[in-house]
Structure 1
Amino acid sequence: MGGGPGGLSVAYALRAQGLRAVVLEKSDRVGASWRRHYDRLHLHTTRRLSGLPGLPMPRRFGRWVARDDVVRYLEKYAEHHDLEIVTGVEVSRVEPAPDGTGWLLRATGGRELTGAAVVVATGHNHTPRIPDWPGRDTYTGEFLHAGTYRNPAPYAGRDVLVIGVGNTGAEIAVDLAEGGASRVRLAVRTVPHIVRRSTAGWAAQFTSVLVRRLPVRLVDRLARPMAKLSVPDLSAQGLPRPDTGLYSRVREGAIPVLDVGLIDAVRKGQVEIVAAVDGFEDEKVVLADGTRVSPDVVVAATGYVRGLEGLVGHLDVLDAGGRPVVHGAHTTKQAQGLYFQGYVNPISGNLREMAIDAQKIAKAIAGDRDGNRRVSRLPVT
């Protein structure tokens, strides 16, 4: 389920194993979520380490691939591998098949579909998350989630507050500052680790791949001197160095901010760091330090929820935060044959890890000797 890179890569890997794979996509074309990202977006991972199995990304895309080129690549990927994709189908619930031979999928229009195995790949950024701030419902100012932000043109000459200093919030703040906003403030609750996307031609992703399997405390110790050498002290501007280790934070789910202009924008005063948002009062935003500000626009870069509860929550495969308890080639004992792809946020890059997991999932399904699940094989040509 899902016509993004996670679903498409698994579909190809299954075909390569000689198995039939059908991709169900709720929109009318593949890569729907990528098409909705803001215009400025480029991958923070290198082109060479972002391709999916069976088709590298073209060299003409450059080292840091733009959003539109990612969409073109996904379209070409589906065409090149002649993947079987059914669009306009949204699955609302996955249940064990009554005869015990696989899975029953309840979809739009009252349709019921069956599969020997199911791979859920509906995306990490599924449903915008907006915190339940006091006073938010009565706030009279302009408010939007980062998921609907496209470019800075509508905000030229306006005072904008961006909430959240993840990669999306940081990049939108820089985009607004460079795009003519009269004032840009970035509300920060937890100070992030900031890493140069590339230093002297060496991509941060390369280091991430090398250290991913090392002990957390060792990586934390190695990262501290590297950060001091490559990233200036921004304490005077409101971004002190974090107290906790970089990799410790990664294991908690907080990926470092890959710098694509934030450091310079903060140093030059183009992006002002302010305290976290605690609530709203009429036309004002209340910050954690007691300050009240009145921006023209508020952009909430507060992340997403996976939206899996209605789909598979009844199968006891999600943790308290709605995240799958297994991923990749692993399944739970109570839901064997149900796989999850793309719901982790590894330091080494989402697309790289999805490409690896796709092949592991396909091999697990192909090697399943459970006679109760009859996997359809493609005819030999």
Structure 2
Amino acid sequence: MSSPGTDVDRAVDVVVVGAGQAGLSAAYHLRRAGLAARPEGLGEHVTGGFVVLDDAPSAGGAWQHRWDSLRMQHAHGIHELPGMALPEVDPDERASVAIARYFADYERNHDLRVVRPVRVHSVRELGGPDGMLVVETDRGRWLTRGLINATGTWQKPFWPTYPGRDTFAGEQLHTRDFRSAADYLGLHVVVVGGGTSAIQLLLQIAEITTTTWVTRRPPVFQQRAFDEEWGRAAVAKVDERTRAGLPPESVVSVTGLPLTEEYQRGIDRGILVRLPMFERIVPDGVVWAPEDVPPAPEHQRADVILWATGFRAGLDHLRPLHLRGHGGGIVMDGTQVVADPRLQLVGYGPSASTVGANRAGREAVRNLRRLLRL
């Protein structure tokens, strides 16, 4: 979509920031509530409708950036968007292609008119009697009565700090930068992280070269399928933290890992053998503390360190609103920011999953309809 004019402020009832699963779900429910998608906005202070702003060049949310070797049959966490079934696809098709196509069709079918690419720099108080927020972007300003933030985590990869990291002579990359296991043929790769992505990439890389797997905590494999009951229990634990104003933890940290047939084969083949976290990084590899030897070696030579260490919520643009409390997180009531109910965070904390994101989009719109009397 072409850029709307940037010489005047545009005003809407609701700005949605992000067009991934959570953002599209919220936009769908705004349309269901009778609001029109208005990328051009209205005159200053004359509000109406909503706009979705997305920083990606095309539809697909974070899925469009996933590594090429991730096929639909191995892609976890896919859930259909509200009001449109996920079509059957070839299980060998790249997830980045199939899901992006589904998201694009969804935007078109529901006339969501997403504005992209647009980078939101900050959200501030406008001041004055209207109680509006100013959303400042690289394509002008939008004034809004309410904001649904659905920026997810993809833009905020987490890189832990370890002694000697800057001295490593090999390659270091994060999950988000991974493209293909073939890039590391013949190289020894240390994979750091205990989540699903770490295990999936480890199994791929181990097919063509040697690997070492390290995690801070021993992985907990659960001999059960990840079902709805398990998911609800995990969401409840994360919800407890956000209601207390604590930073949300990853879902895997509270659920453990389902012991799939693929993972069991990896264990049987000696690939999924976890070592404790190394003490420091040296130019040619990693070194463990004396108390960790055994089971860890004293020193492991490495050509590559792959940090599969997760992501953090992309909320830097909300910093001018001073939402974080003493616990380091934002005190939440479901999707609603307790300190400022005009702000709804979807895809944050308990809604940081595809199923949770759909529910959160509906809840956020319900909250704003009540607050703003839409």
Q: For 1:212-291, list aligned pairs within 5 A.
A: 253-260=253-260, 261-288=262-289, 289=292, 291=298
CA RMSD of aligned residues (A): 3.0
The answer as to 2:321 corresponding to 1:318 is: no
Unmatched runs of 5 consecutive residues or more in structure 1: 217-248, 376-381
Counterpart position of 1:297: 304
State the distance in 2 between where 1:134 and 1:257 align.
29
Matched, 1:208 2:230: yes
AA of the residue aligned to 2:364: I
Q: Is the 8 A contact 1:184 1:272 kept in 2?
A: no
CA deviations over 1:84-142 (Å, ceiling 9, x no partner): 21102111111122233321111115x22111111111113331111111111121112
Whole-Å separation in 1 of the counterparts to 2:214 and 2:149: 34
For residue 214 of structure 2, the aligned residue among 187, 196, 207 is 187
- The amino acid of 2:227's aligned partner reads Q
2:34 maps to 18
2 CA distance for matches of 1:63 and 1:16? 35
Indicate how the Cα distance of structure 1 residues 22 and 40 shifts in structure 2: closer, same or farther if over 3 A, else same: same
User: In the alignment, what sits opposite 1:352?
Assistant: 355
More displaced stretch, 87-96 vs 32-41? 32-41
Cα distance in 1 between the residues matched to 2:305 and 2:327: 26
Amino acid corresponding to residue 187 of structure 1 in structure 2: V
Question: Could you tell me whether the CA contact under 8 Å between 2:131 and 2:145 is conserved in 1?
Answer: yes
Partner of 2:75: 43
The one-letter code sitting in structure 2 at the alignment partner of 1:43 is A
Give the deviation of 1:250 after TM superposition: 7.3
TM-fit CA distance, 1:210: 6.3
SS of corresponding position for 2:180: coil
2:278 is matched by which residue type in structure 1? Answer: V
Return closer, same or farther for 1:156/1:369 CA change in 2, 3 Å cut-off: closer
Counterpart secondary structure, 1:87: coil
2:351 aligned with 1:335: no
Cα distance in structure 1, aligned partners of 2:328 and 2:92: 34
Letter in 1 for 2:193: G
Q: How many Å apart are 1:316 and its aligned residue? A: 3.3
Aligned AA (2:136): R
Q: Is the partner of 1:85 in helix, strand or coil?
A: coil
Q: CA deviation at 1:321?
A: 7.1
Query: Tell me, what secondary structure is at the counterpart of 2:135?
Result: strand
Quick one: structure 1 residues 67 and 324, their matched pair in 2 at CA, closer, same or farther if it must change by over 3 Å?
farther
Q: Normalising by structure 1, what TM-score?
A: 0.76
The amino acid that maps onto 2:230 is S
Query: What corresponds to 1:236 in structure 2?
Result: none
Seen in structure 2, the aligned counterparts of structure 1 residues 192 and 320 have a Cα distance that, compared at 3 Å, is farther
For 1:365 and 1:44, the matched residues in 2 are separated by 31
Distance 1:53 1:11 in 2: 10
In the other structure, the counterpart of 2:7 is none
Conserved? CA contact 1:327–1:343, under 8 Å: no
Q: Distance in 2 between matches of 1:121 and 1:21?
A: 14
Opposite residue 304 of structure 2, the aligned amino acid is: V
Secondary structure of the equivalent of 2:286? strand
How far, CA to CA, are the matches of 2:355 and 2:93 in structure 1?
14
| Residue number among 363, 366, 376 corresponding to 2:366 in the alignment | 363
Displacement, 1:67?
4.1
The number of residue pairs the alignment matches comes to 324
Is the 8 Å Cα contact of residues 150 and 346 (structure 2) preserved in structure 1?
yes
Q: Where does 1:77-88 land on structure 2 (aligned, <5 Å)? A: 77-88=106-117
Tell me the TM-score normalized by structure 2.
0.77
Pairwise CA distance, 1:253: 4.8
Partner Cα separation in structure 1 for residue 305 and residue 270 of structure 2: 19
* Identity %, equivalent residues: 26
Shift of 1:65: 9.5
Q: CA deviation at 1:338?
A: 0.8
Residues 321 and 154 of structure 1: CA distance in aligned 2, closer, same or farther (over 3 Å): farther
